[in-house]
Chain A
Amino acid sequence: KNQVEQSPQSLIILEGKNCTLQCNYTVSPFSNLRWYKQDTGRGPVSLTIMTFSENTKSNGRYTATLDADTKQSSLHITASQLSDSASYICVVRDSGGYQKVTFGTGTKLQVIP
């Protein structure tokens, strides 16, 4: 069964600090992996997408890495801001189409002043 596990479940950091969120998956055959940011009561918004051949991708202060061999991804947030407080969801798609995606349960990040 395809699974996506994220850690930690929740995280509190001080404004300005860096943090790293983890995503481990067992989805096969792998197509791509996305990180989404979801503000409370809102729909998820895509941050990055990574395919099998990509090791790292940045979007402003967000940098995602992918190790397809170990089936691990991380999302690094640099110089955190209060507006980074949200849930971050890892979504892995297999080659079966967009109905064949597996969602992680998310990491809830709270940035405090």
Chain B
Amino acid sequence: QSALTQPPSVSGSPGQSVTISCTGTSSDVGRYVSWFQQPPGAAPKLMIYEVSIRPSGVPDRFSGSKSANTASLTISGLQAEDEADYYCSSYTGSSTYVFGPGTKVTVL
């Protein structure tokens, strides 16, 4: 089964930028990488899809990119409300999906 890896945690002070990586094989990290934000006790919220597209309503502080087998989510101008778990997911190409292990973002 496909596997994605993420750092367990990242942290930054308000106003700083943090970047979360999501690494897999070339077939795991393709065109259809999404990112989800999940505050404690809440349902996930879509932040990025197709590597870099923001849905309507998501602040432009959130941006996505991909290089080779690694996708990244960058939060610029970190705010207290950004503190949450962040998950990447990828479409595997056989009509199935896989999620990464999640990264806890802490605002210092």
| Pairing of A with B | no
- Give A residues with C-beta under 8 Å from B: none
